């Protein structure tokens, strides 16, 4: 799903940063799973569980920051150094029970407790403390079931029977997984054997856990937690109390219906509570000196051997092989070896040739054709893949090499700023040649760019948070009226700003540059068109142009060709605009309009205000929009 990075926070503490891969972050289910993980881990408060320090689930790259646990997982520790023994094993059992108590008190089911999700962290005294990690598939008790019918999530070797049956999953499933994890730590093997997936699941459903392979002091504790019936298993709190009573040096077991305490001496001799000594080879020495062998035979002090009828029949030799007559097996017949001519076997002197030892080639290990088993396969009990030597295949016929397409070539995507600048220069140059028509076209273009940028921006933000949806086209259609209203309001505010900028340029060209009224007005129109994209408020039209170029141009070659085309076009239009006169169609030249307005103005009126108002009214009437100004 992702990758975990080691980082430092603002206090220089080491933290673990879990980041989803980009192709996974676009999946809604993956984001929901990460959200559930963060919400679950934040509800658990325990030193035995990795705490969440920070998270960002709505950005383009979702991640969570947790406590960094230096050390190895329990799976790595057992596979590399062997099973845990003695106090290390009891410490692991108690620590996992404490973590499970905290998890269940937060009304949470971990659901994937296994050796790979348990870290052994050094506590500074040379020993290790267990730490539970990875709530990737944990869910709340009252949450909706994650899986569909006939499917489940988890590691096969550590699943509870109710998960395989697809019945109601409770916190008792974590108790079953905890006992299986402790069994693996004590033996280095999965509790339900190795083999195929079906065989492991069958052993789980039938309750065939290999508890006898665990240390004797741990067997009763494991049998309680690995019960097939979920209601018969103890809770995490009860299991914690039982784990505190575990003692590797003293074992309590039942034999013949009487509870007997067994202490083991350094030489291997065990002394029972009634004084009976059990030697290392299994022989029992009673208080009166009688020795009881492993087959049930009693050896008295005078050497007499007596068969003990009290010994269970299962411990006797029931083969009765000593009562059967001996069998004489016939030696297999061998085929006579062909005699060779003595003249061929002996040299000329009649003596056999000297013995020459055969040369033995050096040992070469077979090639590894199969990959090593995955960690989950080793924990779940799957056998390692067999090394198989494939049969040699005949060489294929020669064929000339062909160029292979690059599969992992990154997508070409850039904003093309040079091309956008050339397009704007072309539009500004055209405004000098056709001031009225190009200015009106620029206003409509800016309005359309604002609408498109609003729709595409909202769609991209929605997809970055929730992923792609089939309802996106319908949302775009329904959102068009509101986007058009916002674009009209923004354009109505932005156009007067561009007009003021054009008036300033007209005044500078007319009175400082000495240009004519019409020539200064042409440059003012060009400044107005450029201001629609460059003045404050023109960021969204620019963004829309950059997104359109990035979506249309998909290769560097196409970008170079389009850049050369617009560069040539911009050069010729700008050079023509500098030398030719402007065409004011469908309006009259501004100088003629100003002369008519000045002649028609009466004395005592505000000439400047009436002049500007008259110019605007005359322009609107000429382009067919006079009804907006009352004409």
| pLDDT tens figures, 55-68 | 887 787 888 888 88
Residue 145: per-residue pLDDT:
40
Phi and psi at 531, nearest 5°, equal -65, -30
Q: Report if pTM > 0.75.
A: no
Tokens of 329: 């097996």
Give the Cα separation of 464 and 467 in Å (integer). 6
Residues 91 and 221 in one domain: yes
Which residue did the predictor score with more confidence, 514 or 610? 514
Confidence of residue 78 (pLDDT cuts 50, 70, 90): very high
pLDDT at 524 over 50: yes
Within-domain flag for 570: yes
Of 202, 221, 249, which residue sits at a domain end? 249
Residues 76 and 163 in one domain: yes
SS3 464: helix
Q: How many domains does the chain have?
A: 4
Within-domain flag for 606: no
pLDDT at 98 over 90: yes
Within-domain flag for 242: yes
Domain of 202, CATH number, reads 1.10.510.10
Whether 112 sits among the annotated catalytic residues: the reply is yes
Continuous H helices in 467-555: 472-507, 517-534, 539-552
Residues 174 and 150 in one domain: yes
Residues 167 and 245 in one domain: yes
Residues 573 and 453 in one domain: yes
Within-domain flag for 380: no
| Cis geometry, peptide bond prior to residue 586 (ω within 30 degrees of 0) | yes
Within-domain flag for 371: no
Q: Which domain holds residue 550?
A: 417-585
Q: How many percent of the chain have pLDDT more than 90?
A: 16
Residues 433 and 489 in one domain: yes
Which residue did the predictor score with more confidence, 521 or 286? 521
Of 67, 98, 120, which residue sits at a domain end? 67
The CA-to-CA distance between both ends of the chain, in Å, stands at 68
Residue 74: per-residue pLDDT:
92
243 and 183 Cβ atoms separated by less than 8 Å: no
Residues 437 and 565 in one domain: yes
Of 45, 67, 89, which residue sits at a domain end? 67
Residues 493 and 513 in one domain: yes
- Who's near 271: CB < 8 A, 6+ residues apart? 262, 263, 265, 277, 278
SS3 221: helix
Within-domain flag for 160: yes
Give the Cα separation of 194 and 495 in Å (integer). 77
Give residue-wise pLDDT tens across range 160-217: 999 888 888 889 999 999 999 999 999 999 999 888 888 888 889 988 889 999 998 8
Total residues belonging to the chain: 631
| Given 112, 134, 174, 618, the catalytic residue | 112
Cα dihedral sign, 238-100-157-202:
positive
Give residue-wise pLDDT tens across range 316-365: 444 433 443 443 444 545 555 555 554 445 545 556 566 565 555 565 55
Give the Cα separation of 590 and 479 in Å (integer). 41
Give residue-wise pLDDT tens across range 9-32: 888 889 999 888 887 777 777 777
Residues 180 and 38 in one domain: no
Q: How many percent of the chain have pLDDT more than 70?
A: 66
Which residue did the predictor score with more confidence, 596 or 431? 431
Within-domain flag for 395: no
Give the Cα separation of 174 and 113 in Å (integer). 7
Which residue did the predictor score with more confidence, 550 or 321? 550
Residues 180 and 212 in one domain: yes
Residues 423 and 567 in one domain: yes
Residues 20 and 120 in one domain: no
């Amino acid at each position: 799903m992702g990758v975990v990075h080691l980082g430092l926070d603002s206090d220089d503490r080491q933290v673990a940063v879990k980041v989803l891969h980009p192709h996974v972050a676009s999946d809604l289910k993956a984001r929901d799973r990460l959200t559930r993980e963060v919400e679950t881990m934040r509800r658990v408060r325990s030193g035995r569980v990795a705490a969440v320090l920070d998270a960002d689930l709505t950005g383009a790259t979702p991640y969570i920051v947790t406590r960094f646990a230096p050390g190895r997982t329990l799976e790595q520790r057992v596979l590399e150094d062997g099973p845990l023994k003695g106090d290390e094993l009891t410490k692991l059992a108690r620590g996992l029970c404490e973590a499970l108590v905290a998890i269940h008190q937060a009304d949470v089911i971990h659901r994937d407790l296994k050796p790979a999700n348990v870290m052994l962290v050094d506590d500074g005294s040379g020993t290790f403390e267990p730490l539970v990690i990875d709530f990737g598939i944990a869910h709340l008790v009252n949450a909706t079931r994650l899986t569909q019918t006939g499917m489940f999530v988890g590691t096969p070797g550590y699943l509870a029977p109710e998960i395989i049956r697809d019945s109601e999953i409770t916190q008792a499933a974590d108790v079953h997984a905890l006992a299986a994890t402790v069994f693996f730590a004590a033996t280095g093997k999965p509790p339900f054997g190795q083999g195929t997936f079906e065989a492991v699941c069958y052993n789980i459903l039938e309750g065939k856990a290999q508890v006898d392979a665990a240390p004797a002091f741990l067997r009763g504790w494991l049998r309680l937690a690995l019960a097939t019936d979920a209601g018969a298993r103890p809770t995490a709190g009860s299991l914690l109390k039982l784990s505190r009573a575990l003692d590797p040096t003293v074992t309590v077991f039942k034999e013949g219906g009487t509870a007997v305490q067994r202490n083991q001496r350094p030489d291997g001799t065990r002394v029972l509570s009634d004084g009976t000594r059990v030697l290392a080879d299994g022989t029992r020495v009673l208080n009166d000196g009688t020795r009881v062998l492993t087959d049930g035979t009693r050896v008295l002090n005078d050497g007499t051997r007596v068969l003990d009828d009290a010994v269970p029949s299962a411990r006797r030799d029931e083969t009765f092989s000593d009562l059967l007559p001996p069998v004489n097996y016939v030696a297999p017949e061998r085929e006579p070896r062909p005699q060779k001519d003595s003249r061929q076997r002996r040299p000329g002197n009649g003596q056999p040739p000297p013995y020459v030892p055969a040369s033995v080639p050096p040992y070469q290990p077979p090639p590894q054709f199969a990959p090593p088993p995955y960690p989950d396969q080793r924990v779940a009990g799957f056998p390692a893949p067999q090394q198989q030597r494939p049969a040699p295949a005949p060489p294929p016929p020669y064929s000339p090499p062909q160029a292979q397409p690059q599969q992992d070539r990154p997508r070409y995507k850039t904003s093309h700023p040079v091309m956008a600048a050339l397009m704007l220069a072309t539009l500004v140059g055209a405004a000098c040649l056709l001031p009225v028509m190009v200015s009106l076209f620029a206003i409509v273009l800016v309005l359309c760019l604002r609408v498109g940028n609003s729709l595409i921006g909202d769609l991209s933000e929605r997809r970055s948070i929730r992923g792609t949806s089939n309802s996106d086209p319908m949302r775009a259609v329904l959102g068009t009226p509101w986007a058009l209203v916002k674009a009209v309001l923004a354009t109505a505010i932005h156009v007067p700003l561009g007009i003021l900028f054009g008036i300033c340029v007209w005044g500078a060209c007319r009175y400082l540059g000495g240009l004519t009224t019409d020539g200064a007005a042409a440059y003012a129109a060009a400044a107005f068109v450029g201001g629609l994209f460059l003045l404050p408020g023109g960021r969204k039209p620019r963004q829309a142009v950059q997104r359109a170029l990035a979506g249309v141009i998909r290769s560097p070659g196409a970008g170079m060709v389009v850049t050369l085309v617009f560069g040539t076009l911009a050069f010729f239009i700008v050079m023509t605009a500098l030398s030719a006169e402007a065409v004011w169609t469908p309006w009259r030249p501004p100088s003629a309009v100003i002369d008519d307005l000045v002649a028609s103005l009466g004395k005592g009126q505000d000439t400047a205000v009436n002049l500007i108002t008259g110019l605007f009214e005359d322009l609107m009437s000429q382009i067919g929009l006079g009804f907006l100004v009352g004409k």
